[in-house]
Structure 1
């Protein structure tokens, strides 16, 4: 089984390369990453092959997750954009593709809310990827000014999750 850090490194390497598709297979897992304009990444566990059959290449049946590029309009007023930039200094981004959760379980309070003070090692959320629940830390000191993702929402690698006003 791949560790979260190894998956992050693979994502970074594929993202920075000219490779359009990458597949990594082990006995228990297959990770497939595909780029379509640099916006698509998929990962899925491989189905277990029966012991009596010889090993065959495994095709992932996971659906592709696509992010549509956002186009900005030239009609937007520059003043609101400047105000938004002043509200935060740092964005906490998703280190992987997965499902975003604001709390450790549905009955618990969220890790952080708008106005919460965070330290570098403060857990701000969980991103579930391949049935692994990965705690995401703030990696900065400051105050949460905006929560950009919704609980239970699918998030992409590098997608901003929180905005922080650094102290």
Structure 2
């Protein structure tokens, strides 16, 4: 089984390459990664299968397939993305790599919920890094429209944690 760090490295390599889809299988476990693209796949811009060789491994991407369902899904995804963008003006992002906590301790209520009003100095969560608990402030006045991280989830630097509709 792949370790989390190995998966992250694969994601970075695939993101930087021209591969659109990647599948890794070992010991009965399968990991599949697909890039989303802004351009829908058509017969004119479909790429042939590509091969990248690294040491003894060969990574192959499958030739893109065209399905009516995929086109409908991409249209729905575009509409959902447009609707989501209208719901917020600002994203509160993680200033560091660490563990996201939505409440100060396990027995307490969460700092904020969807619909909560926040001000610039309102603490919205904690990100633990190297045994230090860092309180994250909203840095803007507004209303929380979406919470993007789960309690106890590992978060990356710059990862959006909350979406806020500013006043």
TM-superposed deviation, 1:79:
2.3
Q: Of 60, 63, 71, which aligns to 2:35? A: 71
TM-superposed deviation, 1:71:
2.7
Give the distance between the partners of 1:137 and 1:71, measured in 2 at CA.
33
Number of aligned residue pairs:
105
| Greater per-residue strand proportion | 2
Q: Where do 5+ consecutive residues of structure 2 fail to align?
A: 16-33, 41-70
After superposition, the C-alpha distances for 1:48-85 in whole angstroms (9 at most, x for unaligned) are xxxxxxxxxxxxxxx84837357325341232221111
After superposition, the C-alpha distances for 1:93-136 in whole angstroms (9 at most, x for unaligned) are 00000000000000000000000000011000000000000000
| Greater per-residue helix proportion | 2
- Cα 1:109–1:72, aligned 2, differ >3 Å: closer, same or farther? same
Give the distance between the partners of 1:71 and 1:147, measured in 2 at CA.
24
Q: Where do 5+ consecutive residues of structure 1 fail to align?
A: 1-62
Displacement over 4 Å in runs of 4+: none
Q: Who is 1:130 aligned against?
A: 130
What's the TM-score once normalised by structure 2's chain length?
A: 0.58
What's the TM-score once normalised by structure 1's chain length?
A: 0.58
More deviation in 126-135 or 81-90? 81-90
Larger radius of gyration, structure 1 or 2?
2
Give the distance between the partners of 2:144 and 2:35, measured in 1 at CA.
26
Q: Who is 2:159 aligned against?
A: 159
